[in-house]
Structure formats: C-alpha cells, structure tokens
Structure 1
Amino acid sequence: MYLITGASGGLAKTAAEMLLESVPADQVVLTTRSPGKLQSFADRGAHVRYADFAVPDSLEAAFAGAERMLLVSTAQVGSRIGFHRNAIEGARRTGVEYLAYTSIVGAGIDANDAIVCTEHRATEAMLRESGLRWNVLRDSQYAEAVAYFIAPGAVARREMVGAWGEGTVGFVAREDCAAAAVGALLGRGEDNRAYEVTGPEELTYRQVCTMIAEISGVGIEYAPISDDEQYAIFDAIGVPREYQEDMSSSPIPWNSDDMVSFSRAIRVGNMSSLSDAVQTLGRRSPRSMRAVLEEAASTWPPAGAALQPAPADRVEEAAR
C-alpha cells in the first residue's frame, strides 16, 4: 500500500488526488491530524487514518500495512526535525520499505545557513541513516508563494521590496511538486537519490517583478534591501525574530530569522537550481512562473488599494 502523510494540507492533498489516478483507492493510506477533512477520500475507498507526529504512539496504527510512504514535510520551524524523526522511526518500526521526503532546494549545500535548509538537511541525514530505501525531493520555492503573497503587495504599493538581491530561483508550481512526489512514490526514480524539483527556468526577483508589472499593467519598482532593513520591516509589524510555539500574535506565521535567512540564501546563490525532475518523475512539463502569475492576477488588488490579510488556507498552502 501507498501512504501519504499530512494529507489534509495543500501539497499532500494534491498528491493524493494524483495517486488515485494511478492506483486503486483501497491501496492508498492518507494520514492527518484532522480525518474529517478527508471524508471525500474515505468515501472513495481510501484508508484515512489519524496520525500526529507529536504523538509517536499514534503512528504505528496509522502506518500499518504501508510499504511505500511519502513524508510531506511539516511547516513548523523549530519543531520540524523532531516531528520528522518520529515519522521516520515510525515508518521503520511498522515495516515501511521506501520513503520519499519533500525537502527544499539548497538543503544539499552545507554552507547554506538558511534555517529552513538546515532543518531539511538534518531530516535528509536521518533518512539516509534509517535503513529504508529513499528519495529526497528538494522542491524549489513555490511560484504560488510569489503570486498570491508577494505580488498583491507589489501591485498595491507599486514597489517590490525584499532582500533577494539578484539571486536566481527555479520557481516551481506546487502541483508540479506533487506530481514529482507521486512519481517517486510510484517508483519512477532511482532509489537512494536526491532530486531537485524546479520549474522550467531560473529567474531573479527583479525579473519576476517585471512580469508582475506587465501582467497587472501597473508600474512597479524593484527595491532591493539589506538583511537589517528587512528585519526592521518585520520588527515594525510585530513579527518575532525567533521561532515561538505560539505564533498567533504574529501577522505572518513565520519568524523573521527564518524569512531573512531564506532571502539571504537566494541572494548569495544558494537557492539556484534547474532540473528536469518534474518531467522525469511527474511525466509532465512544469508550469512557468508567468503562467502561475497570470492565473493569480484576478486576485490582485488595484494599485493604491489597502491590502487585506491573506486567507488562512492560502497561508498554510504557501508554507515551506
């Protein structure tokens, strides 16, 4: 049987839909902390089970009978490593033979000190030492994170401000990441290998800014800033610098150390990558950044409009 963790989340739910196009529903196990959110999958014959990585005792029953597993990384900076350790150990104990893990581009560079990359790098090391057959899927930055979170502010303010400099990113559509992950789960990859999962081209944020301006018809200035200036912006709106277990008082669900270190990694070239993994594993052509931006454009505000907080589901879907 095939198992996907965190299946009520955006990437995992998309992967579940794709997996059901290839295998019978009774061969699919979907785990989540909120089984009620997956009733439609249960109605189609998939096995929906409760699992919480923070509760290791819940994992044996959740993973029982699964042979091939997709571990979709959690979004909780600061607790991610421990949760992933519990999931990998639970998989090993219950007889899972193969595990694919969604990591991030840049995790394979030891000098890359972006917090998100150091946490994924630690999980990759645990997976290599687990005794399981494995694949690591190092996803590039989601194109949707730009299209639905950064672009609206750039259009409204006529300015795109950030500490990304002129570093390049192989922005990738989330559904393409899901397709690659399902391909690995189905055995299309080479065991015990990391795959970098990217879109069809590498772009700087300056180039993306130009695209947003062209699509919106609004003149937008690209404004590179330093790490210290980025911290000051986050400080001013009440974003904590370090990870906190309760981020409910923050206007953004990520701490600024995480976000600034990620921007710096882009700026210095540690997030640059281009690959054919979407084609190889997902058997599809990856969507372009422009295509994702054009799809999102109807949600952008007019220039000068007041920005509204992003919906909670969109925030969750964009989390790395």
Structure 2
Amino acid sequence: MYLITGASGGLAQTAAELLLESVPADQVILTTRAPAKLGSFADRGAHVRYADFAAPDSLEAAFTGAERMLLVSTAQVGSRIGFHRNAIEAARRAGVQYLAYTSIVGAGIEENDAVVCTEHRATEAMLRESGLRWNTLRDSQYAQAVAYFIAPGAVAMGQMVGAWGEGTVGFVSRDDCAAAAVGALLGRGEDDRAYEVTGPAQLTYRQVCAMVAEISGIDVAYVPIGDDEQYAIFDSMGVPREYDEKAMSSSPIPWNSDDMVSFSRAIRLGHMSSLSDAVQTLAGRAPRSMRSVLEEAAATWPPAGAAPQAAPAEAAEAAR
C-alpha cells in the first residue's frame, strides 16, 4: 500500500490525485490532522486516517499497512525537525519499507545556512540513518510563489524589491513537484539518492522581473537590496524575526523574517542554483516554464498603483 502524509495540504492533495490515477483507491492511505477535509477521497475508496506529527502516539497506527510512504514536509519553522523525526521513527516501527521526503534545493550544501535548508538537511540525515530505503526530493522554489505572492506586489508598486541579488533559481511548478514525488513513490527512481527537482531553466529574479513587466505591460523595476534593508522592510510590516507561534498569529506574512531573509541570501550566494531532469525522469513529462506560470497568474495581478494586498491563503500555500 502507498501512503501520503499531510494529505489535506496543496502539494499532497495534488499528489494524491495523481497517485489514484495509477493505483486502486483501496491501495492508498492518506493521513491528515483534518480527515473531514478528505471526504471525497474516502468516498472513492482511499483509506483516510488521522495523524498528527505533534502527537507521536497517533502515527504508528496511521502508518500501519503502508509499504511505501511519501512524507510531505511540514512548514513549521522550529518544530519541523522534531515532527519529521516522529514521522520517520513511526514509519519504521509500522513496517514501512521505503520513504520519499520532500526536501529543498540547497539542503545538500553544508555552508548554506538558510533556516529552511538547515532543517531539511537535518531531516535528510535522519532518513539516511533510518534503515529505510529512501529518496529525498529537493524541490526548487515554487514558480507559484513568485507568480501569486511576489509578482502582484511588484506590479502594484512598479518595482520588485528583494535581497536575491543575481543568484539563479530553477523555479519549478508545484504540480511538477507533486508529480515527481508520486513518481518516486511508485518506484520510478533509484533508491537511496537525492533528486533535485527543478524547472527547465535557471533564472535570476532580475530576469523574472523582466518577464512580469512584459506580461503585465507595466514598467516594473528590479531593485536589489541587502539583508539589513530586507529585515527593515519586514520589521515595518510587523513580521517577527524569529518563529514564535503567538507572534506569527498576527503576522501579515506566514513566515518569520529570519527564514525569508536567510532564504534570499542563499539565492544571492548561489546556494539555490540547480538544474536537473528529475521531473522528466520521475514524472515522465517536461516541467512547466516560469513564464507559463506567470502568464496563468497574470489575471490575478492588481493594476499598477493599487495598494498591495495581503497574500491570499492559496498564495501562502504555494510559496514553499
């Protein structure tokens, strides 16, 4: 049987739909903290089970019966490593034989101190030492993060401001990441290796900014800044520097600024620069381009001069 964790989340739901195209529903286990959200999958015959990484006692029973598992990484900075340890240990106890894990490009570079990369690197180490067969799927930055979260503000203000410098990113569609993860889950990859999952081209944010300007028909300037300036912008918005659950509840952005600034710095330093054929290898299809995702999102962008709005929930979900 095949298992996908966090199945009420965006990437995991897409992966679940793709998995059901390849295997019978009664061979699929979907775990979530919110089983009611997966009623449509249960109606089709999939096994929907409650599981909470923060409640280790809930995990072993939820994973029992699965032979191959996709562990979709959590987004909670500070808690991620412990939650993933709970999941990996429970998977081993439950008899899971193989585990694919959604990591991030840059996690294999020791000097990369981006918060998100250090946490994924720690999880990858636990997985290698678990005794399970494994793959890590090091997803590049989602193209949707730019198209739905960064581009709207850039169009509204006429400038794309950030600390990315001239570093390149192999922006990848979230749907391609889901398809690659399902390919690994189905055994299309080579066990016990990391796959860097990228789009078809490495681009700088300056190049992406030019695409946004061309597609929108609005003059959007690229404005590179440093870490201190980036922190000051987030400070003025009321974004907490460190992750704190109480403080994050009132933040206008669902990430703390240490996380975001260190991620931008990693791009600037070239730590997130990667290009691979993993989507073709694992999903059996060519990856979508950054331009195609921007063109799809353009209808949601505000007119020039509009006041920037808080990102909708789907933009946050797509961001990383």
Same fold, TM-score > 0.5, yes or no = yes
- After superposing on structure 2, the runs of 4+ consecutive aligned residues of structure 1 that deviate more than 4 Å are none
Structure 2 distance, partners of 1:157, 1:201, is: 27
Aligned runs of 1:96-111 on 2, under 5 Å? 96-111=96-111
- The two structures have a TM-score, normalised by structure 2, of 0.99
Q: Does 1:12 align with 2:27?
A: no
Question: Are the counterparts in 2 of residues 168 and 266 from structure 1 also a CA contact under 8 Å?
Answer: yes
Supply the distance in 2 between the matched residues of 1:317 and 1:275 (Cα, whole angstroms).
Answer: 21
Residues 60, 93 of structure 1: 8 Å contact kept: yes
Contact 2:108 2:121 in 1 (8 A): yes
State the SS of the aligned residue for 2:22.
Answer: coil
Alignment-derived partner of residue 78 in structure 1: 78
- C-alpha separation in 1, matches of 2:84 and 2:230: 30
Preserved contact between residue 9 and residue 317 of structure 1 (Cα < 8 Å): no
Q: CA deviation at 1:307?
A: 2.1
Q: Which runs of 5+ in 1 are unaligned?
A: none
For residues 24-46 of structure 1, the C-alpha deviation after alignment (integer angstroms, 9 at most, x for no partner) is 00000000000010000000000
Q: Is the deviation greater in 242-251 or in 79-88? A: 242-251
Query: Secondary structure in 2 aligned to 1:19?
Result: helix
Q: Supply the distance in 2 between the matched residues of 1:178 and 1:206 (Cα, whole angstroms).
A: 27
Partner of 1:315: 316
Q: What is residue 121 of structure 2 aligned with on the other side?
A: 121
How far apart, CA to CA, are the structure 2 residues paired with 1:306 and 1:157? 8
CA distance in 2, matches of 1:200, 1:162: 23
Aligned position for 1:231: 231
Aligned 8 A contact 2:253 2:311 in 1: no
After TM superposition, the score normalised by the length of structure 1 is 0.99
Asked if 1:259 is matched to 2:260, the reply is: yes
- CA offset digits 1:268-292 (Å, max 9, x no partner): 1000000000000010110000000
Indicate the percent of aligned positions where both proteins have the same amino acid. 85
Residue 293 of structure 2 corresponds to 292
**Number of the residue aligned with 1:281:** 282
Contact kept? 2:147, 2:297, Cα under 8 Å: yes
Q: CA deviation at 1:249?
A: 1.0
Could you report, residue by residue, the CA deviation over 1:48-74 in whole angstroms, capped at 9, with x for unpaired residues?
000000000001111010000000000
CA shift, 1:313, in A, is 3.5
SS at match of 1:274: coil
- Report the number of matched residues: 319
Residue in structure 2 matched with residue 51 of structure 1 by the alignment: 51
Task: State the SS of the aligned residue for 2:31.
Answer: strand
Work out the CA distance in 2 between the residues paired with 1:290 and 1:33.
Answer: 35
Q: For the Cα contact (< 8 Å) 2:153–2:309, is it kept in 1? A: no
